[in-house]
Structure 1
Amino acid sequence: MEQTETRIRSILSHLTPTSLLETVNTSAVAAADTNQTAAAVSAPPIIDKQRTQISKWDKDEFRDFLEVNAAYKPVRAKLNELLRDPLFAPVYNMTVEQWRELTLQRAVKVIRSGLISISEFNRDPMKYLISMETINMSDSSLSVKLGVHFSLFGNAVLNLGTEKHHLKYLKDIDTWKLPGCFGMTELGHGSNVQGVETTATYDKDTQEFIINTPSDSAQKFWIGNAALHGQACSVFAQLYIGGVHYGVHVFVVPIRNPDGSIAENVRIMDNGHKLGLQGVDNGRIWFNNKRIPRDNLLNKFGDVQPDGTYVTSIPSKTKRFGSMVAPLVGGRVLIASSALYATKMALIIATRFATNRRQFGNKNQEIPIIQYLTHQRRLFPLIAATVAYNFPINHLKLIYCEPNKTAQNVKDVHVWASGIKAVVTWHKTHTLQTVRECCGGQGFSSFNQIPALKSDLEIDMTYEGDNHVLLQQVSRYLLVELQKGRYNVTLSNHGSKIYNADFQLHCLKWKESHLVQTLSTKIMTALDQGRGLEYSWNDNLDLVTALGKAHIERITLETFQASIKKASLNIQPALELCRNLFFSTKVVDDLGFYLCNDGMTQETAVKVQESINLLCGDMLPHALDLVNSFDVPEQYIHAPIAKADYIQEFRYGLQRKY
């Protein structure tokens, strides 16, 4: 027994080498506002000469490089100043009613500042996107409440309506005189908007539309701003004229009177307590022969003349519907961008805490937990991926904000927005869960921000399109491109230069190509066997989802590398480190696919697998600087564990209430 204990002690001494303990710099703590470098430790020896080594790099330039457009810094600065008002300070332990009241006060404060306007949605969409993602860093409920009012209700009036609607509604939308909500989702229909049950029947005798909820499954459900504050709703309904069905159209329907009372022939109920976003008053709406004027039809793509004649420049119901929902893609752009900022905030908090939090080691010199490989393997790939996703999102913003879009631009925006929204919100959710665990019990405290980010942003993966459904849209596009001969197939993928950008791109392109060809073959075979397209598609939804994700991973690496080529030598090494770790992690996550389909030799697969530990070692001395160089204003990081001395933050008798 004594010999066994001696042997265990010997093994443990090797697991905690003296050389590691001696290299810990006990004075290196996370000074958030000075970008102080993390505790310096000896990185693992360099084995592969292909790996880019980092010595010094420009943190301020790195931060600027992540910004989509430096010209909009004043926009963010003005909002940052407004959001320093005590009204926006963190508050905890509120009831749902208190949350909603505070969110309303904050919304009115922002609107009255004049810093956000629905008219800017088209005139300067980049300004609008940057404004909303900044607000989301301060308060997710506020961002969603304003987003429902401006991005959804206001955007519907702006881009589905015509001049008469603009003159009648836009000024009141901009001033909150007409608080709005967005009536698309029903209890029985969410993603399948073309299948909504609400009806709008034209009465030519009175020149009115009669809005009806024909069943309980047709009730408008999860409608933001509906439970308390909304006065008008942009309602998606099936249009009928003289018994003829003309497909889904959108109508402005009053749901409350100016005094706040519920409008005649409208019923509203509260959706009640939710997982998060307690400040948003989600509600349910029913219509019982609710009559509205003919002019309340948002008629940009289809109109009804006084005598009941239907006129449109797009005869096809499906194409007309596509034109109606196309302007709403901006919501997906904003969700993806805001999700990435939430991810950055969480990683800032977790990495600073990991640098300061000490556990195990010598009695008087415990080791910062960031030194442990298990911690690095959890955090560092997430940091690398967050940097990587910054660039396709920036590209998406640019093509979305392009003033004179071509048909291809419009298609690209739709495909990119659908796929990136899905992949980045999943990345955000995985990151938030991981950092919650990495911060231990502190990650469970609301004061440390992570729980609020987790609960408030959980809905990202569902609203504005369920992620799995969105990836189907991406895959459908790729199949069409393949069938039309516009998809360039990558046939083989053998090579071993795992830190070479061309090899990395070839690798991800091969995976995408293999998936699109396999999916196409399976569907065509099923069709040849007499199975319908709907059934053959459903039988291969696993491949459909995998293909959508593979496409986004490929374009992420592609845009990332294109950006690295434009970067100065001051920051290229830091960017390349993130690119290498992003690539290795994505390949290892799906290593079975590569090996099973002869997409990579076993020797190369082993190299990629082993590279993650090496790259984590390379990132260790720079991880804190990387997250501190994220483009997140310091005012939004108020977690005690993100402070330079988190123990001091929790001393007994401290006036701050935790």
Structure 2
Amino acid sequence: MTATPEVSASVDPNVLTAVLDGKWAGVRRAIRAEMADTRFRDACDLDVEQHRAQVLDQLHELARSGRPRLGFSPEYGGGGDIGGSLTSFEMLAFGDLSLMVKAGVQWGLFGGAVQLLGTAEHHERYLRPIMDLELPGCFAMTETGHGSDVQHLRTTATYDPGTQEFVINTPDQAARKDYIGNAARDGRMAVVFAQLITEGGSRGVHAFLVPIRDERGRPCAGVRISDCGRKAGLNGVDNGRLVFDEVRVPRTALLNQYGDVAPDGTYSSPIDSDNRRFFTMLGTLIRGRVSVAGSAGSATKRALAIAVRYGETRRQFWHPDGHEVAILDYLAHQRCLLPALATSYALHFAQEELVDALDELQSGGSYDEHRQRELESRAAGIKAVATWHATSTIQAAREACGGAGYLAENLLPVLKADTDVFTTFEGDNTVLLQLVAKGLLTSYRDHFEDLGTMATARFVAEQFVGAVIERTAARKVIERLVDAAPGRDDEDALFDRGWQLKLFEDREEHLLDGVARRLRRAASDDTDPFRVFNDAQDHVLHAARAHIDRVVLEAFVAGIDRCGDAGARALLERVCDLYVMANVEADRAWFLEHGRLSASRAKAVVAAVNDLCQELRPQARTLVDAFAIPEQFLAAPMLSEEP
């Protein structure tokens, strides 16, 4: 194996924190200071109403801090800092996740829709009261019968030129707006997504501002509101259901950035295609998806910090020399936590790259459709991987803490319950990976003429929100490493970073090429296109996942390259090695089946994971302390008990 940097036993976690904090370090430091002064107790012993009330109080405190203004336009009193706003949501997730979600609904989804889909009239009238929480709102997209399939929502908004109003209607039970945050208790207005009907025809899904309660909290005429009730987690969020019975709103209630209706009912839009307009409107709203990925990352870091601390203090069974062994000294325990910790580091750098890209795109002042589509797909993939990682890692952390980890007071069960829904809200993860795959197939088709215009590619394009994926912008460090990589069979290759990058890239390209050719062959006759795609769905999802794994690794490598401290850099290099080896180990059946690893090399990967876990064991506490989670959010009683 090639020589690897020697990891110092005395790396300062503060140095790592500075690397992790990145571009928005100032925002992170300020929020940590604010969170350290919080007066609110943990919600594990509150009933639903107490929890909702506490979260609303916290939301008002947050509004008074001015922090929610970060993501809004300076013209209306905002901070004009989209990246800072997304980072704020990510940091909120170190605490009560109900607060993060409710804040996300108010300022990310409701406020974001008004800002990004509305025009000057809406901005001038609504943005300040939204920022100040004078106007609590909802984001009413999901329907009982149509969750991920937004394009076919059934709620209607029919224009009446005689009164110059839209009539918002729920035609049947399947069209009921479901699981709407802020609806059951606190919301007064909703951004309602509905099929716009004018001049006798539908122009697709558009967004409308619809009052749902008056200032005394009573439902508005024609609006029926019900409570979703107690959930598995996030019970500080008042999720509700909305039904509209011929509710009339003025013509100006249409958020008309991408489509407008004149007083006489004439429809106009700067985008001619209904499909393209729909995807453009939806694409502007990806901040919520990005925030979920970042928040899942924060919750996962919190669980790992608790579990690692417990693993260092909890002792079980005796060593032959007479001392009781800390459970984190057992290799099995290390394998439970440390590869997951390495993945959390990798995803942190990928999330930072994603936030930076979104900030640059949405702050640029001009619309770039190609970059927007690529970013939508990247956000979808990172969200899927990060939330699945949260679900598996928080469960592993709970198990690693034994019976103590099952007590609500020790925080892990609450984290487990609160994050469970992350895999299915802001986009079901399986659907999101299909979005990624669609973009990959589109790019493949564009670059390889022999793919042609296969029916299945058309089917995928029609059925799933799309984004054209290209290779990330050339990063010299990655190109240099890949160019210098040893051959596949070189004995010294395993820990060579260029070899690792090429391995991930090769897996992605092979899977994409295979699925594209498989779909093309299957679609060469009159086979039903749905069946063609459905029969290859496992292959499609594997290709999408391999793509995101490669993107995450490249982000990690780029993050390490920015680290100027030799000791911290050496430690991050080994954490990156563990991320790679654990990823390869998990998919080593594929690598073996496709000749990318020999049997002996596959065994070496397993041994490498073991060796890296043992090497990083002394640094485990440093690695979780570097997350700089405010101590009150790690105050699990099991960590203060005498060993």
Does TM-score exceed 0.5, indicating one fold?
A: yes
Establish whether residue 67 from structure 1 lines up as the match of residue 63 from structure 2.
Answer: no
Alignment-mate amino acid for residue 638 of structure 2: I
Deviation at 1:635, TM superposition (A): 3.5
Cα deviation 1:408-447 (Å, max 9, x = unaligned): 4323321211100000111111110001000001111112
Cross-structure match for 2:434: 472
CA distance in 2, matches of 1:589, 1:66: 26
Deviation at 1:578, TM superposition (A): 0.8
Establish whether residue 115 from structure 1 lines up as the match of residue 67 from structure 2.
Answer: yes
Contact 1:399/1:409 (CA < 8 Å) preserved in 2? Answer: no
Deviation at 1:506, TM superposition (A): 0.9
Deviation at 1:288, TM superposition (A): 0.5
Establish whether residue 639 from structure 1 lines up as the match of residue 592 from structure 2.
Answer: no
Cross-structure match for 1:53: 6
| Helix, strand or coil at the partner of 1:246 | strand
Q: Which consecutive residues of structure 1, in runs of 5 or more, have no partner in the other structure?
A: 1-47, 649-658
> Which of residues 534, 551, 560 is equivalent to 1:564?
560
CA distance in 1, matches of 2:33, 2:586: 42
Q: Give the TM-score taking structure 1 as reference length.
A: 0.87
> Which of residues 604, 609, 617 is equivalent to 1:612?
609
Instruction: After TM superposition, list the pairs within 5 Å mapping 1:207-286 onto structure 2.
Output: 207-286=164-243
Specify whether residues 173 and 184 from structure 1 end up closer, same or farther in structure 2 by C-alpha distance, changes over 3 A only.
same
Q: Which consecutive residues of structure 2, in runs of 5 or more, have no partner in the other structure?
A: 449-469, 472-481
CA distance in 1, matches of 2:171, 2:430: 29
Deviation at 1:362, TM superposition (A): 4.9
Contact 1:581/1:612 (CA < 8 Å) preserved in 2? Answer: yes
Contact 1:493/1:506 (CA < 8 Å) preserved in 2? Answer: no
**Alignment: residue pair count:** 595
Structure whose alpha-carbon radius of gyration is higher? 1
Cross-structure match for 1:410: 372
Establish whether residue 365 from structure 1 lines up as the match of residue 323 from structure 2.
Answer: yes
CA distance in 1, matches of 2:542, 2:369: 27
Establish whether residue 104 from structure 1 lines up as the match of residue 49 from structure 2.
Answer: no
CA distance in 2, matches of 1:511, 1:532: 29
Deviates more, 1:591-600 or 1:562-571: 562-571
Q: Give the TM-score taking structure 2 as reference length.
A: 0.89
Cross-structure match for 1:443: 405
Deviation at 1:647, TM superposition (A): 2.1
CA distance in 1, matches of 2:2, 2:250: 73
Deviation at 1:493, TM superposition (A): 5.0
> Which of residues 237, 250, 265 is equivalent to 1:308?
265
Instruction: After TM superposition, list the pairs within 5 Å mapping 1:476-487 onto structure 2.
Output: 476-485=438-447
Q: Which runs of 4+ in 1 moved over 4 A?
A: 492-496
Contact 2:143/2:177 (CA < 8 Å) preserved in 1? Answer: yes
Contact 1:267/1:287 (CA < 8 Å) preserved in 2? Answer: yes
CA distance in 1, matches of 2:639, 2:88: 25
Aligned-pair identity (%): 39
Instruction: After TM superposition, list the pairs within 5 Å mapping 1:123-138 onto structure 2.
Output: 123-138=80-95
Alignment-mate amino acid for residue 597 of structure 1: H
Deviation at 1:495, TM superposition (A): 4.4
Specify whether residues 78 and 620 from structure 1 end up closer, same or farther in structure 2 by C-alpha distance, changes over 3 A only.
closer
| Helix, strand or coil at the partner of 1:245 | strand
CA distance in 2, matches of 1:562, 1:93: 43
Instruction: After TM superposition, list the pairs within 5 Å mapping 1:220-619 onto structure 2.
Output: 220-362=177-319, 365-402=323-360, 403-404=363-364, 406-485=368-447, 494-496=489-491, 497-568=493-564, 569-619=566-616
Cross-structure match for 2:619: 622
Contact 1:523/1:533 (CA < 8 Å) preserved in 2? Answer: no
CA distance in 2, matches of 1:406, 1:306: 31
Deviation at 1:382, TM superposition (A): 0.8
Cα deviation 1:498-522 (Å, max 9, x = unaligned): 1000110111111111110110011
Contact 1:350/1:642 (CA < 8 Å) preserved in 2? Answer: no
CA distance in 2, matches of 1:467, 1:122: 32
Contact 1:66/1:631 (CA < 8 Å) preserved in 2? Answer: no
> Which of residues 173, 179, 183 is equivalent to 2:140?
183
Alignment-mate amino acid for residue 578 of structure 2: L
Cα deviation 1:266-294 (Å, max 9, x = unaligned): 10110001000111100000000100000
> Which of residues 32, 44, 60 is equivalent to 1:92?
44
Specify whether residues 143 and 531 from structure 1 end up closer, same or farther in structure 2 by C-alpha distance, changes over 3 A only.
same
Alignment-mate amino acid for residue 239 of structure 1: L
Cross-structure match for 1:199: 156
CA distance in 2, matches of 1:304, 1:156: 18
Contact 2:2/2:495 (CA < 8 Å) preserved in 1? Answer: no
| Helix, strand or coil at the partner of 2:219 | coil
Specify whether residues 494 and 189 from structure 1 end up closer, same or farther in structure 2 by C-alpha distance, changes over 3 A only.
farther
Deviates more, 1:227-236 or 1:78-87: 78-87
Cross-structure match for 1:32: none
Contact 1:400/1:413 (CA < 8 Å) preserved in 2? Answer: yes
| Helix, strand or coil at the partner of 2:447 | coil
